[in-house]
Structure 1
Amino acid sequence: MDGPVSSQKTAKRVTMMDVAKAAGCSQATVSVVLNNVTDIKISAELRARVVEAARSLGYGQKSFLRRAALDELRGGCIGFVVDQLATTSEAVNAIEGARQESWEADVTILVAQTQGRAEYEHRALDRLLRAGVQGIIYMSIFTRRVALDPVFETLPVPLVLLNCYTGDNRFPSVVPDEINGGRQATLALIEKGHHRIGTITGESFMEAAQDRLIGYRKALRKAGIDYDDQLVAQGSWTPTSGYEATQQLLALPERPTAIFCQNDKMAWGCMTALREAGLSVPGDVSVIGYDDEELARHLRPQLTTLDLPHRAMGAWAVRRLDHPPVAGNEPHAPHKVACAFIERASVATPRRLAR
């Protein structure tokens, strides 16, 4: 059932990024300080500031239940198998979330990139198992249903799927809650008074694009706003496609007052096209992105967006490895992690309502 966007913030574990923000330094500096790296010179004042920020935020604190959940993995290692590492930041963020979840339990993470090729997966699994891994996390860069190679069916260690799932839900899996993310983005615009809301989608064969569009339509329906195909422009996740799709939306007899871009790169292209058309953001057109990439904080105005929760998903996958198998091989419904709404400066009330 659809419901209003919650005004309550979901409690989340403190990350190095939170500590860096509080201490006024980079995440790399926080890592150096908290990992006691001594061959990099950092002033005593900055070290003290980082330590105090970490202490005040409760970084690294664990309940007894959380410590116990990793006891079986303590002192061992986990295999992390991913199809691509270099093309996007998603895999790096997921691995970082897994590392943050496991480092105090003295768990080592061994990473293998396979490019999705069966022969590379076989080789990676063989070497990881020879290294003594106590569990395998299998990640796809794109959220999708996967058909696993039969070698995964007979692993002697637990397997958790990250950003993917199988058709029979045989294995525990974790994915982003993309439908609700698309719904949140659109509702945020509706709540500001927008009713003519365009959206720029990603490639239509991808589940993320499909689900974010479903969320967009759910929000419109909830608000009693008719869905209009003309307000849906096809993109391909790139800045250029966002630029061209925005030009398409601006050519409509009645242009949108707000545009929900399905990723931050397309939002970048969208904002460029709006500026070249002599329109201001958010004065003339409000813009929302998705993913909360680094560029979202450097656009002007800073981009309102949604966080793609790969760090939280990586942490969940590590915790799930230590759970006992479900009795009777019951299916595992994919665990969905919320995409947090990040409010910045690219959204405002339409001018006709702001007077």
Structure 2
Amino acid sequence: MTDIAKAAGCSQATVSFVLNNTPGIKLSAQTRQRVAEAARALGYRLPAPTRVMPRRSPVTMLDGVIGFMVDQLATSPEAVVAIEGARQASWNAGNVVLVAQTMNDPVMEPRAMEALKAQHISGLIYMTIFTREIVAPEFLHALDMPVVLLNCYTADYAFPAVVPSEIAGGQSATQHLIDHGHRRIATITGEPWMQAAQDRLEGYRRALATADIPFDADLVIEGDWSASAGYAATVRLLQLEQQPTAIFCQNDRTAIGCYEALKEAGLHIPEDISVVGYDDEEIARHLFPPLTTLILPHQAMGQWAIEQLETPAHQAGGRHPITKLECPLVERGSVAAVKGDR
């Protein structure tokens, strides 16, 4: 919607109203046509005209209200994006999503569960902001309803779980730079205790190994996901006797700091050095040049969770394999062929 809004010369809210045929919104026919034409020009398929949908499918396991528990809601956009994916997937069947933030508090989390149960929920999505293995609270095992884990999983695979395919994402980001002729590729990681940072680094190393590029520990700088860490790490990389020709920043906020350090050093992106981010936050589209990055598939994960809750076979029990959803690469303007290969 952001891309369509830019092309159509209107706000993202206007695009949303047009594409969703929102009732009660007075928009001119010209505005609606301009948005539709911009969407088609960008290769998007417009939704079919709104039609009355049955409240729910005959095979659904859900009945009106779905609970959504998340440990942190306000610290990053991932939870909101996942909730929106769940809402989109559930509304056509007439289901409402109720959200509770728990902060993993051992006292308040069970109370939040009781509050959701009082609303007669028929299924529960349990989410963590940081991708990780969890020990499922006892109340999850005691629920007489389907439960799906989002962005987390348990060692015993007791519940269906969905996480981003982070190793493949790190490999894809690095491979994209290799495909442009880069062989001296640096990476700025997140905090090493986090699984996302570990997996993205593993993907980076796999891409190098596949291309027969030796791993160089000097090109791996530990960060903390922040812009300031990205700036400091980039300064360190530029002090190396042999500077990198490309930098894989393991999130977009790190890339913001990386951009600033490169520009202060008088380097141009991507002519002198290429940069790839990760997460596809809103800011990635507005950097100069726009940042090539990878999408964290939290919206698709929310939709997947609803589909699992609606599957009758879900209640059969047993072990459930972890589902990993692809992190698609979004090519923008921050990557070019290495100098000498153009």
TM over 0.5: yes
CA-CA distance at 1:48 after TM superposition: 5.0
Match among 146, 160, 172 for residue 158 of structure 1? 146
CA-CA distance at 1:215 after TM superposition: 0.2
Cα contact 1:305–1:341 (8 A) shared by 2: yes
Q: Give the match's secondary structure for 1:353.
A: coil
Structure 2 residue 97 is matched with structure 1 residue 133: no
Structure 2 residue 30 is matched with structure 1 residue 45: yes
User: What CA distance in whole angstroms lies between the structure 1 residues aligned with 2:11 and 2:202?
Assistant: 37
Q: Give the match's secondary structure for 1:97.
A: helix
Q: Give the match's secondary structure for 2:132.
A: strand
CA-CA distance at 1:244 after TM superposition: 0.3
Structure 1 pair 340–24 and aligned structure 2 pair: CA distance change class (3 A): farther
After TM superposition, the score normalised by the length of structure 1 is 0.87
Q: Which amino acid aligns with 1:135?
A: G
Equivalenced residues, count: 334
Cα contact 2:61–2:309 (8 A) shared by 1: no
Identity %: 54
User: What CA distance in whole angstroms lies between the structure 2 residues aligned with 1:138 and 1:193?
Assistant: 42
Structure 2 residue 198 is matched with structure 1 residue 210: yes
Structure 2 residue 183 is matched with structure 1 residue 198: no
Q: Which amino acid aligns with 2:168?
A: N
Match among 53, 62, 74 for residue 73 of structure 1? 62
User: What CA distance in whole angstroms lies between the structure 2 residues aligned with 1:299 and 1:57?
Assistant: 27
Q: Which amino acid aligns with 1:237?
A: W
Aligned match of 2:22: 36
Structure 2 residue 291 is matched with structure 1 residue 303: yes
List structure 1 segments (4+ residues) > 2 angstroms apart after TM superposition: 16-37, 40-56, 58-62, 67-74, 324-330
CA-CA distance at 1:46 after TM superposition: 2.3
Aligned match of 1:109: 97
Cα contact 2:60–2:312 (8 A) shared by 1: no
CA-CA distance at 1:351 after TM superposition: 1.2
- Describe the superposition over 1:10-41 as per-residue Cα deviations: whole angstroms up to 9, x where unpaired: xxxxxx66775776544422443425341x54
User: What CA distance in whole angstroms lies between the structure 2 residues aligned with 1:242 and 1:309?
Assistant: 23
Q: Give the match's secondary structure for 2:97.
A: strand
Aligned match of 1:144: 132
Q: Give the match's secondary structure for 2:312.
A: coil
Q: Which amino acid aligns with 1:43?
A: S
Structure 1 pair 277–20 and aligned structure 2 pair: CA distance change class (3 A): closer
User: What CA distance in whole angstroms lies between the structure 2 residues aligned with 1:100 and 1:293?
Assistant: 20
Gaps of 5+ in 1: 1-15
CA-CA distance at 1:118 after TM superposition: 2.1
User: What CA distance in whole angstroms lies between the structure 2 residues aligned with 1:24 and 1:157?
Assistant: 46
Aligned match of 1:3: none
CA-CA distance at 1:276 after TM superposition: 0.6
Gaps of 5+ in 2: none
User: What CA distance in whole angstroms lies between the structure 2 residues aligned with 1:59 and 1:313?
Assistant: 21
Q: Which amino acid aligns with 2:167?
A: I
Taking only aligned residues, the RMSD between alpha carbons, in angstroms, comes to 2.4
User: What CA distance in whole angstroms lies between the structure 2 residues aligned with 1:146 and 1:37?
Assistant: 42
CA-CA distance at 1:42 after TM superposition: 2.9
Structure 1 pair 19–130 and aligned structure 2 pair: CA distance change class (3 A): farther
Q: Give the match's secondary structure for 1:198.
A: strand
Q: Which amino acid aligns with 2:263?
A: R
